[in-house]
Chain A
Amino acid sequence: PSDTRDAAQARVRRAPAPVTDVARLCVCDLLVAQCDVNCCCDPDCSAEDFSLFTTCSVPVVTGDSQLCSQKAAVYSLDVEANPPERIFKLIDQVNPSIFCIHATNYEQALYLKSPEIPTPENFDQFIDKYGGATFSAEPDSWNLDTDAQNPPDANETSRYEYGLPVQTEDAFLRLPSPVVSSWCSDANPAGFLVNQATKCIRAVSVEKCDSIQALSMLFYINSSILAVPKSSQMVNITVQSIVVQSLDGMRTLLSSSDVLRLPMVLDELCINAVLGVNYHITHTDTGEIIEAAAAFVLGAISKETLSIEQSFEISFTQENTQPVPLSGNPGYVVGLPVRAGFQPQGYPFPAAFLSNKHSQLTILHSTSTQDCLAAQGARAPVLFGYNMISGCKLRITAAMKCQPLAQTLLDVLKGQSFPEYVASFGNSQVQDVLDWVPITQLLISEQMISHTLQSSCQIPVSLGIEVKWTKYGSLVNPQARIVNVTATITTTTLKQLRSGRERIIPVMSSVVFTDISSPAEPSYKAWPTIDIKLPFDFFYPFV
């Protein structure tokens, strides 16, 4: 047993001997026991194979060309003969240079060294020689100072960054969304600071009401969110509010949202199924999550429903701030609300404006009843780029007094708080006073054709807001900028009515966006001028 082991070791210790005879060397012989195409030195090829070759891929096999005289094997194809045959010649190649190697007493100079096979005896020697940092294959381990590497890595992931998935105890905070098709996929993580709203369809059935996890509130608030990635600080998801939606679509806000309502089967209906979740995450300015709340919309599934649509939303707010949504950065984006604000009272020069959700530019919103007095309070925000027109009908009876009627109509047209300034850019800050455009208010009174000059009652019947905007910035990416806003109130004379009669007058409000950008004029570079001046003494002998 021991001598067989030694023999095995002896076999292992020696690598195959290198071949140095040029007549037997063949670099193109890659296939074992098969003829390689166009390889004239392949011993596996027969004469018929050679007759099919077109060229020799390896014409010459030599040793080191620096030697003064060496043997070379030359392979060529004789295409003249029929059939073509391979010619093999062993010649002596002479290097004519005076610096050719005549002899050498150092064998390893001309051949590659046979590698030493590691054995248990010489392994330690190899480790000492080749185990150091200079022989390491991985560049990372070249840095000898490994302690200094760890602290910077620890700082990198100690806070959330934009787009990083919000981590929870087990995996990530899921925001089910449609992937490829409209069916819900639960594998979509919510990204930090990425406000998303998704809608997707989930397959349901009343029988599996309590077994489908995605219909239960627990699925969405079960795992707590990690305050910072890879830490043990947890933030529980609290239930902010629960809205119950009935089968016909009517929603009711529940007063107490402490009780967890799990889906269950009741009267062939599956109630308390989650139809929508709205996450609100509060974070600090250093990327740490401090609060998480979820608002649910629960509904009922009937027996015939095979699939329901679930909607999910997530929004991030920094603590102690009120987020102001931008309407464009910097130019207005079509479809986003026009931002407006007030100048605070008591300041001699405007230092900053007040602009919040309640100071939007709004116009009257037409309702189905079309009654002006009944529709007070229904307003629609003015969206940039969208010309809107709305109106209502006013029923005037004889008993109505002029002044209160005029004031009411003015309220209906302009709304409760009509702003004084409009932001010039979509991202104008309230501190930059010059970025805000004042709203010019015009009053036009329609005179009746009869020109009755007596101090009759003037009631406003139409409000027209004209927003003039221009393209600002580069030709390639122009930004929309509001230049001028004019609110025109048109009044008409209210004729006194005979008692008992009533009149219906239409009241209209409109918003028009006009593009007043001047057309772009191309400008060309000045033509180059040729500036030739003769030398000073060109006409020397004569001048």
Chain B
Amino acid sequence: LSSLPLQILLYVNGVYYIFYFLATLAMIIYKSQVFSYPDDLLAPDLTVLFLMAILEVPRSYLGFKGNLTEAEGPLGLSLGLTVGSVVLCVYLLLWQTYVLWADVLLNAVLLAGYGLESGLKVTAIAAFVS
């Protein structure tokens, strides 16, 4: 049986991620105008953000597909991609050029979402395998 909490969480995380991406992009633009943001420091931050966006699409799709078809393969793959997203999120939380208080909040919420999602995915994989 597909896990209903996982499905809800996947959906919520997807929506939240869109908001997170737009907010972080807007804040990077704001920071580059207000503070001194040299180009060689702006490039890695933007790269990480877009990389995370690119990772989010397959990660989300695989999660949906795995949960609905009750298959552990896609779910496992999605879990692996989630690890990558978590690493990038931690980078944006700790090693960005300027970490504003809003950045801290957004990233913390995203990390909490990913953590909960990972936990539920593990439970679902265990349920599907057995």
- What residues of chain A have their CB less than 8 Å away from a CB belonging to chain B? 66, 68, 97-106, 108-109
Taken together as a complex, chains A and B put the C-alpha atoms of A102 and B31 apart, in Å, by 13
- Determine if B35 and A99 form an interchain contact, defined as CB atoms under 8 angstroms apart: no
* Cα(A286)–Cα(B114), bound, Å: 89
- How many chain B residues sit at the interface, stated as a range, is 10 to 19
The residue that B30 contacts in the complex, of A99, A105, A106, with Cβ under 8 A, is: A99
Distance from A339 Cβ to chain B, minimum over Cβ atoms (Å): 75
Given A108-B36, A109-B35, A109-B36, residue A98 in contact with residue B102 (CB < 8 A): yes
**Shortest distance in angstroms between A63's beta carbon and chain B's nearest beta carbon?**
14
B-side residues, CB < 8 A to A, are 27, 30, 35-36, 41, 94-105
* Chain A residues within 8 Å of B41, by CB: 106
Which of B95, B96, B97, B101 sits near A98, CB closer than 8 Å?
A: B101
Contacts of A104 in B (CB 8 A): 97-99
Chain A residues within 8 Å of B27, by CB:
99
Kindly state the separation between the CA atoms of A360 and B23 in the bound complex, as whole angstroms: 94
Q: Could you write out 5 A-B pairs with CB less than 8 Å apart?
A: A98-B101, A99-B101, A100-B101, A101-B98, A102-B104
Q: Which residue of B lies closest to A98 (CB)?
A: B102
Q: Which 8 pairs, one residue from A and one from B, show the smallest C-beta to C-beta distance?
A: A103-B99, A102-B99, A98-B102, A106-B97, A102-B101, A99-B100, A104-B98, A100-B101
Which among A66, A97, A98, A99 has the highest number of chain B CB atoms within 10 Å?
A99
Closest to B105 in A: A98
- List A contacts of B30 (CB < 8 A): 99
Q: Is A105 in contact with B95, judged by CB distance below 8 angstroms?
A: yes
B101, A68: Cβ atoms closer than 8 Å: yes
Other than the given A101-B100, A102-B100, 10 more pairs (CB < 8 A) read A98-B100, A98-B102, A99-B30, A99-B102, A101-B99, A102-B103, A102-B104, A105-B95, A105-B99, A106-B97
Residues of A within 8 A of B101 (CB): 68, 97-100, 102
Measured CA separation A105–B41 after assembly (Å): 10
Enumerate chain A residues within 8 angstroms of B105, measured Cβ to Cβ: 98
Among B99, B101, B102, B105, the most chain A Cβ lie within 10 Å of the Cβ of B101
B97 to A: closest C-beta gap in Å = 5
Closest chain B CB from A100 CB (angstroms): 5
A99 / chain B contacts, CB cutoff of 8 Å: 27, 30, 100-102
Q: Which residue of A is nearest B36, CB measured?
A: A109
Contacts of A106 in B (CB 8 A): 41, 97-98
- A residues in contact with B99, CB < 8 Å: 101-105
B24 to chain A, nearest CB (A): 13
Chain B residues within an 8 Å CB radius of A103: 94, 99
CA gap between A77 and B104 in the complex, in Å:
39
CB-CB under 8 A from A66, the residues of chain B are 35
Residues in A with CB closer than 8 Å to B95 are: 105
Q: Provide the bound-state CA to CA distance between A467 and B79, in Å.
A: 116
Which residues from chain A contact B35 at a C-beta distance below 8 Å?
A: 66, 101, 109
Q: Give Cα distance in the complex from A68 to B104, angstroms.
A: 12
Contact B100 A100 (CB under 8 A): yes
Q: Which residue of B27, B35, B36 has the most chain A CB atoms within 10 A of its CB atom?
A: B35
Closest to A108 in B: B36
Bound complex: CA A109 to CA B37 (Å) = 8
Q: Which residues of B contact A108 (CB under 8 A)?
A: 36
Which residue on A lies nearest to B94, using beta carbons?
Answer: A103
Chain B nearest Cβ from A113, distance in angstroms:
10
Which chain B residues lie closer than 8 Å to A109 at the CB level?
Answer: 35-36, 97-98
Q: In whole angstroms, what is the CA distance A102 to B102 when docked?
A: 9
Q: How far is the CA of A515 from the CA of B92 in the complex (A)?
A: 95
A106 → B minimal CB distance (Å): 5
Closest approach, in angstroms, between the C-beta of B35 and any C-beta of chain A?
6
Which of chain A's residues have a CB closer than 8 A to the CB of B100?
98-102
- How many Å lie between the Cα of A104 and that of B30 in the bound state? 15
Verify A105–B102 contact, CB threshold 8 A. Answer: no
Return the chain B residue nearest A96 by Cβ.
B101
B55 CB to closest chain A CB (Å) equals 23
CA distance A147 to B66 in the complex (A): 75
Q: Tell me whether A105 and B97 are in contact (CB under 8 A).
A: yes
Q: How far is the CB of B99 from chain A (nearest CB, A)?
A: 4
* A497 CB to nearest chain B CB (Å): 115
Closest residue on chain B to residue A97 by CB atoms: B101
- A97: chain B residues within 8 A (beta carbon): 101
**Shortest Cβ gap from B41 to chain A (Å):** 6
With A and B bound together, what is the CA distance between A502 and B95 in angstroms? Answer: 132
Q: Which residue of B lies closest to A99 (CB)?
A: B100
Q: How far is the CA of A102 from the CA of B105 in the complex (A)?
A: 11
Bound-state CA distance A276–B105 (Å) is: 97
Cα distance, A26 to B30, chains bound together (Å): 32
Q: How far is the CB of B89 from chain A (nearest CB, A)?
A: 16
Determine the distance from Cα of A81 to Cα of B116 in the docked complex, in whole angstroms: 60
What distance in Å separates the Cβ of B15 from its nearest Cβ neighbour in chain A? 21
B126 to A: closest C-beta gap in Å: 38
Q: Which residues of B contact A102 (CB under 8 A)?
A: 99-101, 103-104
- Chain B CB within 10 Å — which of A66, A97, A105, A108 has the most? A105
- Taking CB as reference atom, which chain A residue is nearest B103? A102
Give chain B residues whose Cβ lies under 8 Å from the Cβ of A68: 101
Instruction: Please give me the residue from chain B that is nearest to A95 by CB atom.
Output: B101
Bound CA span A104–B98, Å: 5
Q: For residue B36, which residues in chain A have a CB less than 8 angstroms away from its CB? A: 108-109
Closest A residue to B27 using CB positions: A99
Report the minimal beta-carbon distance from A65 to chain B, rounded to whole angstroms: 12
A105 to B40, alpha carbons, bound, how many Å?
13
- How far is the CB of A426 from the nearest CB of chain B, in Å? 68
Q: How far is the CB of B32 from chain A (nearest CB, A)?
A: 12
Chain A, Cβ-Cβ closest to B104 = A102
Nearest Cβ on chain B to A342's Cβ, whole angstroms? 84
Distance in Å from the Cβ of A253 to the closest Cβ of chain B?
87
Give A69's nearest chain B residue, CB to CB. B101
* CB of A202 to closest CB in B, whole Å: 72
